[in-house]
Structure 1
Amino acid sequence: MRQDPSMEHVRDLSLLPKAHLHLHFTGSMRPTTLLELADKYGVHLPDALTSGEPPKLRATDERGWFRFQRLYDIARSCLRSPEDIQRLVREAAEEDVRDGSGWLEIQVDPTSYAPMLGGLIPALEIILDAVERAGRETGLGLRVLVAANRMKHPLDARTLARLAVRYADRGVVGFGLSNDERRGMARDFDRAFAIARDGGLLAAPHGGELTGPASVRDCLDDLHASRIGHGVRAAEDPRLLRKLAERGVTCEVCPSSNVALGVYEKPADVPLRTLYDAGVPMALGADDPLLFGSRLAAQYELARRHHGFTDAELAELARQSVRGSAAPEEVRNKLLSGIDDWLAG
Structure 2
Amino acid sequence: MSEKIDPALPKVELHLHFEGAAPPAFIRGLAKEKHIDIAKIFTPDGGYAYRDFWHFLEVYEAACTTLQSPEDFRRLTLAVLEDRAKDGVVYAETFLSPDFCGVGDVTAWREYLLAIEEAALEAQKTMGITLKGIVTAIRHFGPDQSRATALCAAETKSDFLTGFGLAGDEKQFHPKDFTWAFDCAREAGLRLTAHAGEWGGPESVRDALDHLKVERIGHGVRAIEDLALVDQLAEQGTVLEVCPGSNVFLGVYPSFDKHPIDRLREREVKVTISTDDPPFFRTTLTQEYETLARAFGWTEDDFRAINRDAANAAFCDEATRARILQILEGRA
Aligned to 1:61: none
TM-fit CA distance, 1:335: 2.6
Aligned to 2:64: 76
Cα distance in structure 1, aligned partners of 2:177 and 2:105: 25
TM-fit CA distance, 1:89: 0.6
- The 5-angstrom pairing of residues 184-263 of structure 1 reads 184-263=173-252
1:144 equivalent among 133, 143, 146: 133
Q: Deviations over 1:231-255 (max 9, x none)?
A: 0111111111111111111111011
Q: Does 1:33 align with 2:21?
A: no
Alpha carbons 1:21, 1:252 under 8 Å: kept: yes
TM-score normalised over the length of structure 2? 0.92
| Structure-2 change in CA distance of 1:284 and 1:128 (3 Å) | farther
Q: Which letter maps to 2:58?
A: R
SS in 2 for 1:23: coil
Q: Does 1:10 align with 2:4?
A: yes
Alpha carbons 1:18, 1:318 under 8 Å: kept: yes
Q: Deviations over 1:91-130 (max 9, x none)?
A: 1111112222221111021112325xx9453134313432
SS in 2 for 1:146: strand
How many residues matched? 328
Alpha carbons 1:250, 1:283 under 8 Å: kept: yes
More helix by share: 1
Aligned to 2:160: 171
Q: Deviations over 1:245-273 (max 9, x none)?
A: 11111111011111121111122221110
Q: Which letter maps to 2:207?
A: D
1:297 equivalent among 270, 286, 302: 286
Q: Does 1:308 align with 2:294?
A: no
SS in 2 for 1:102: strand
TM-fit CA distance, 1:297: 2.3
| Structure-2 change in CA distance of 1:302 and 1:37 (3 Å) | same
Where structure 1 has 5 or more consecutive residues not aligned to the other structure, the ranges are 59-63
Q: Which letter maps to 1:121?
A: T
- The 5-angstrom pairing of residues 53-202 of structure 1 reads 54-55=47-48, 64-115=52-103, 119-137=105-123, 138-169=127-158, 171-202=160-191
SS in 2 for 1:252: strand
| Structure-2 change in CA distance of 1:334 and 1:80 (3 Å) | same
Alpha carbons 1:303, 1:309 under 8 Å: kept: yes
| Structure-2 change in CA distance of 1:276 and 1:128 (3 Å) | farther
| Structure-2 change in CA distance of 1:55 and 1:93 (3 Å) | closer
SS in 2 for 1:291: coil
Q: Which letter maps to 1:311?
A: E
TM-fit CA distance, 1:54: 5.0
Aligned to 2:313: 324
Cα distance in structure 2, aligned partners of 1:267 and 1:139: 31
Q: Does 1:23 align with 2:16?
A: yes
Alpha carbons 2:240, 2:272 under 8 Å: kept: yes
Cα distance in structure 2, aligned partners of 1:247 and 1:69: 32
Q: Which letter maps to 1:9?
A: E
Q: Which letter maps to 1:268?
A: D
Moved more, 46-55 or 304-313: 46-55
Cα distance in structure 2, aligned partners of 1:199 and 1:283: 26
Cα distance in structure 1, aligned partners of 2:297 and 2:312: 23
Q: Which letter maps to 2:192?
A: A
Alpha carbons 2:41, 2:50 under 8 Å: kept: no
Where structure 2 has 5 or more consecutive residues not aligned to the other structure, the ranges are none
Q: Which letter maps to 2:165?
A: G
Moved more, 124-133 or 80-89: 124-133
Q: Which letter maps to 1:98?
A: K
